[in-house]
Chain A
Amino acid sequence: MSDKVAPLRQPPSPADTAALLREVAGLIVEALNLEIAPGDIDPDQPLYGEGLGLDSIDILEIALVVSKQYGVQLRADSEENLRIFGSLRQLVDHITAHRTK
């Protein structure tokens, strides 16, 4: 894809992580038009199935927003995929590790 190499990043501070959690929760609520406030998403609750109750159509939608906002292309063939949508916090960790913008 891109031949640019993402610059090395400093490990995120807890404040950065908290800010990104809020930002991604807001993106999810906006993209899916959910009937909850972003702050009500428990960062450790599963996003898929029970928990927040998202399904595969939603996950595709989130993947689009994440790729546009952070330049992270999600792939289903990696073992990581189930884990990424295990919770908001895991999704945010994945974005932090792979973001290109």
Chain B
Amino acid sequence: MSRVAPALGAGAHVLNACADRYHFAVGFAACLMTGKVSLLPSTHTPEVIRQLTSFAPDVICLTDEADCAIEMPRVQFPRDAAPAGRAMASVPAIEGAQLAACVFTSGSTGMPVPHRKTWGRLVACVREEANRLALSGSAACAIVATVPPQHMYGFESSVLMALSGAHALCAERPFYPADIAASLEAVPRPRILITTPVHLRALTASVLALPQTDLIVCSTAPLAQQLAAEVEERFGTQLLEIYGSTETGQIAVRRPTRAPEWQLWPGVHLSVRNGETWAEGGHIEEPTRLCDVLQMTGEGRFLLHGRVTDLVNIAGKRSSLAYLNHQLNSIPGVLDGAFFHVEDSRTRHTGVARVAACVVAPDLDAARVLEALRDRIDPVFLPRPLLFVARLPRNSTGKLPQEALRALAAAQPRPATMA
């Protein structure tokens, strides 16, 4: 850390793009020690990088990849920064009010909305997470995570959990089922897997022998009860699911094989105003409208009934139809266009719901539109399919019902597929 901190210069903002979780954690700690704010956008498209630079003109990028293409002043993580085994004389105390990180959600106007996180509230949140996962005062665990350290859930459950609870971090981010099994096998017990429904589905569908693991934590999208039961059986352990958002951090937990209800963090309150659910209190920085439909079932308990229609959540990356529509319609040559949710057999099969789009752009082809979108939005949101139409099925008030878009898409000719 003493090697990284001086390299970060005099600016107040660092885009920590390190892929290696240990490098990320060292970079984050170096920022904390020198009073810098870590900027953690969920994606690094050229459009997001331009917006970050206008949000914080002094921002620099800390990277551990030799071919990093992020267009801003870059600092390379020192290659030989491996610790010599000399422990710091004392653990530094960081002011609770210090601004530690800034995470972003996509606003509907095209500009990302920053959410500022103070060190004290981040720590309060993950201390409660440790309580809920029964890790408070437990032996040091080894944490293996399949989610990036820059994503709010991965940031809290891997990096901050390790820093605040003195656990060990696995630097790699395993991807394929065989990688995840090998990473778990390589670390001593007790070991924890921090992961998502997408990875758990791939793990349980594989024929691999899955190593005995002491706790599985899942978040980013609701997990089917049946998959949860299978995971518990295959890993011989309990699976806990976390509910949270970029704005609020983690706020509730449940064990899906035991009860469908979620238990809120103490101090966090939900309330319904004008049909919207708001969360506040506890570690939450400011009252936040939740993007899901919740039903309160008792003090500190609720059921989750799905997302608000405008929200798009694909494997933990979040956007909104309004934001995606704004980006689509800002492409020169696009006269009108709209994204919509697709409900198809693949969604039910994989648990990953994609979005599709209809576009009116007589002078463009699919490749041109996709190329322009790729510059603006994360690739998981690229429309599947992208359909060219003569006009959109707007109703008499100019609105575009999702159902009308799906009906229009269903009526489009499909390519012949191999039977």
Given contacts A37-B417, A67-B207, A75-B179, contact A53 B370 (CB under 8 A): yes
How many B residues face the partner with a CB closer than 8 A?
36
Q: Which residues of B contact A63 (CB under 8 A)?
A: 176-177, 202
A64-B175 CB under 8 A given contacts A35-B415, A57-B352? no
Q: Are B179 and A29 in contact, with the CB atoms below 8 A? A: no
> Which residues from B are CB-within-8-Å of A57?
198, 314-315, 350, 352, 380
> B7 contacts the other chain (Cβ, under 8 Å)?
no
Residue among B198, B352, B384 making CB contact with A35, cutoff 8 Å: B384
- The contact of A33 among B209, B346, B370, B382, by CB within 8 Å, is B346
Greatest chain B CB density within 10 A among A33, A36, A68, A74 is at A33
A74: nearest chain-B partner, CB-CB: B176
- Interface members, chain A 15-41 (any B CB < 8 Å): 26, 29-30, 32-40
A55 contacts B379, C-beta separation under 8 Å: yes
The answer to whether B91 has its CB under 8 Å from any CB of chain A is no
Q: Are A61 and B418 in contact (CB under 8 A)?
A: no
Task: Return chain A residues, CB-CB under 8 Å to B308.
Answer: none
Residues on B with C-beta less than 8 A from A74 are: 176, 178
Within 8 A of A (CB), among B171-226: 172, 174-179, 182, 198-199, 202, 205-209
Please give the distance in Å from B210's CB to the nearest CB on chain A.
12
A76 touches B174 (CB 8 A): yes
- A70 to B12 Cα, complex, angstroms: 52
Q: Are A60 and B208 in contact (CB under 8 A)?
A: no
Shortest Cβ distance from B416 into A: residue:
A37
A1, CB-defined interface residue at 8 Å: yes
B206 touches A67 (CB 8 A): yes
> B202 is contacted by which of A29, A55, A60, A76 (Cβ under 8 Å)?
A60
| Chain A contacts with B in 53-101, Cβ cutoff 8 A | 53, 55-57, 60-61, 63-64, 67-68, 73-77
Bound form: Cα–Cα A100–B374 in Å: 38
From B175, B345, B374, B415, give the contact of A60 (CB < 8 A): B175
By a CB distance below 8 angstroms, the chain A residues around B199 are 60
The answer to whether A73 touches B380, judged by C-beta atoms less than 8 angstroms apart, is no
Tell me, yes or no, whether B414 is within 8 Å of chain A by CB.
yes
Interface centre among B174, B384, B414, by most chain A C-beta atoms within 10 angstroms, is B384
Nearest to A71 among chain B residues (CB) is: B207
Give the docked Cα–Cα distance between A90 and B113 (Å).
41
Min distance, Cβ B272 to any Cβ of chain A, angstroms: 33
Closest chain-B Cβ to A3's Cβ sits at a distance in Å of: 13
Q: Which residues of B contact A7 (CB under 8 A)?
A: none
Partner of B179, one of A36, A64, A67, A76: A76
Closest partner residue, chain A, to B178 (CB atom): A73
- Asked if A50 contacts B418 (CB within 8 A), the reply is no
Q: A64-B205, A73-B208 are in contact. Are A38 and B418 (CB under 8 A)?
A: yes
Name the residue on A nearest B180 (C-beta). Answer: A76
Chain A: CB-nearest residue to B209: A1
Q: Does B385 contact A (CB under 8 A)?
A: yes
Contacts of A11 in B (CB 8 A): none
Beyond A1-B208, A53-B370, A57-B352, whether A37 also contacts B415 by CB under 8 A is yes
Q: Known contacts being A60-B176, A73-B208, is A38 close to B417, with CB within 8 Å? A: yes
Collect the chain A residues with CB atoms within 8 Å of residue B176's CB. 60, 63, 73-76
Contacts of A55 in B (CB 8 A): 379-380, 382
Q: Which residues of B contact A64 (CB under 8 A)?
A: 177, 202, 205-206
The answer to whether A49 has its CB under 8 Å from any CB of chain B is yes
Smallest Cβ-Cβ distance to B172: which chain A residue: A77
- Cα A68 to Cα B179 in complex, Å, equals 16
Q: Are A76 and B175 interface neighbours, CB within 8 A?
A: yes
B365 within 8 A of A: no
**A53 CB contacts on chain B under 8 angstroms:** 370, 379, 382
Q: B304-346, CB under 8 A of A: which get 1 and which 0?
A: 0000000000110000000000000000000000000000111
Q: List chain B positions with a Cβ less than 8 A from chain A.
A: 172, 174-179, 182, 198-199, 202, 205-209, 314-315, 344-346, 350, 352, 370-371, 374, 379-380, 382, 384-385, 414-418
Q: Could you tell me which A residues sit within 8 Å of B by CB distance?
A: 1, 26, 29-30, 32-40, 49-50, 53, 55-57, 60-61, 63-64, 67-68, 73-77
25 A-B Cβ contacts within 8 A?
A: A29-B418, A33-B345, A33-B346, A34-B384, A37-B415, A37-B416, A37-B418, A38-B418, A53-B379, A56-B175, A57-B198, A57-B380, A60-B202, A63-B176, A63-B177, A67-B177, A67-B206, A67-B207, A73-B208, A75-B179, A75-B182, A76-B174, A76-B175, A76-B176, A77-B182
Q: Identify the 7 closest CB pairs spanning chains A and B, nearest first.
A: A33-B346, A35-B385, A73-B178, A76-B175, A55-B379, A37-B415, A74-B176
Known: A60-B198, A64-B205. 19 other contacts (CB 8 A): A30-B417, A35-B384, A35-B385, A35-B414, A37-B416, A55-B380, A57-B314, A57-B380, A60-B202, A61-B202, A63-B176, A64-B202, A64-B206, A67-B177, A68-B207, A73-B177, A75-B176, A75-B178, A75-B182
